[in-house]
């Protein structure tokens, strides 16, 4: 029987190499593309009627719009409007990526640390750049919050710098670990179902319950990723 980790294997579909760098179109890339096309088609065609009273599909599109818009407004404020397309894209990309991963035999690209780290680094570098562009060198005050006694500075500044620098890694690891652990667990229990015969009904029930849990986690992690992006953005725009 295949290892529970087999599902995370990258399989090249089309071998491509750009300047000596491996840029093969893999199963991971395929799922990313399906996500892009799926999100675009879902949102674009659900609004074709532009009805004043939304139908079922239009409601989905409008709900996701207002959901992310409210998240951004509550956490960042009016200044965050500029970054709405980015946060919306990020949320939909992660959410649909997670959800598509729940389909049996498909692939979850968010279970790869390099992918989540790529997104987390974009968020990290982006928010840091915004912080320095808006506040200049004052952005360094971020590491010494207002009202801190000066004698605590030698202790506090390293802690703050460290916690700031670990942000992209915690952001990336959280999504990667949740997805990997959940899918591995599903696979392990799935293996028990086949191996235990009639008693396999017990792990089967567990798999059913875990699938529901994983759907929740798939949404929750997309939400957490987006809301942490909003919080980092708020830190960059408004400091503490």
Check: CB of residue 171 under 8 Å from CB of residue 115.
no
Q: SS3 helix, strand, coil % of the chain, rounded to 5?
A: 80, 5, 20
Size of the residue set binding other proteins (CB under 8 A): 48
* From candidates 1, 2, 40, 100, binder to other proteins by CB under 8 A: 40
* Helix residue spans in 102-166 (DSSP H): 113-135, 153-165
- In terms of CB distance, is 55 or 145 closer to other proteins? 55
Tell me which stretch binds other proteins (CB under 8 A): 12-20, 70-78, 188-196, 227-235.
12-20
Q: Does 55 bind other proteins (CB under 8 A)?
A: no
The number of angstroms, rounded, from the C-alpha of 132 to the middle of its chain's C-alpha atoms is 25
Q: Which one of residues 85, 145, 158, 195 is an interface residue with other proteins (CB under 8 A)?
A: 85
Instruction: Give me the half-sphere count of Cα atoms (radius 13 Å) on the Cβ side of residue 239.
Output: 15
Q: Is 67 in the site for other proteins (CB under 8 A)?
A: no
- Asked if residue 98 binds other proteins (CB under 8 A), the reply is no
Instruction: Summarize as ranges the residues that interact with other proteins (CB under 8 A).
Output: 5, 8-10, 12, 16, 18, 21-26, 28-29, 32-33, 35-36, 39-40, 43-44, 47, 50, 52, 58, 61-62, 65-66, 84-86, 88-89, 92-93, 109, 111-115, 118-119, 176, 180
């Amino acid at each position: 029987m295949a290892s529970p980790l087999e599902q995370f294997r990258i399989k090249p579909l089309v071998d491509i190499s750009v300047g000596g760098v491996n840029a093969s179109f893999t199963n991971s890339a395929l799922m990313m593309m399906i996500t892009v096309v799926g999100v675009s088609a879902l949102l674009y065609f659900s609004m074709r009627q532009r009805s004043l009273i939304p139908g079922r599909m239009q409601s989905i599109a409008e709900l996701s719009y207002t959901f992310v818009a409210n998240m951004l407004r509550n956490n960042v404020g009016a200044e965050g409007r500029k970054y709405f397309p980015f946060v919306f894209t990020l949320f939909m990309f992660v959410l649909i990526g997670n959800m598509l991963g729940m389909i049996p035999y498909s692939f979850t690209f968010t279970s790869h640390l390099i992918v989540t780290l790529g997104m987390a680094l974009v968020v990290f570098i982006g928010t840091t750049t915004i912080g320095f562009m808006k506040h200049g060198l004052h952005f360094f005050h971020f590491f010494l919050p207002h009202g801190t006694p000066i004698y605590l500075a030698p202790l506090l500044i390293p802690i703050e710098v460290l916690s700031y620098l670990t942000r992209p890694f915690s952001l990336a690891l959280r999504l990667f670990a949740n997805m990997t652990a959940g899918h591995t667990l599903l696979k392990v229990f799935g293996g028990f179902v086949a191996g235990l015969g009639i008693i396999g009904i017990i792990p089967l029930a567990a798999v059913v319950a875990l699938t529901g849990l994983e759907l929740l986690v798939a949404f929750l992690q997309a939400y957490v990723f987006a809301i942490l992006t909003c919080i980092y953005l708020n830190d960059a725009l408004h400091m503490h």
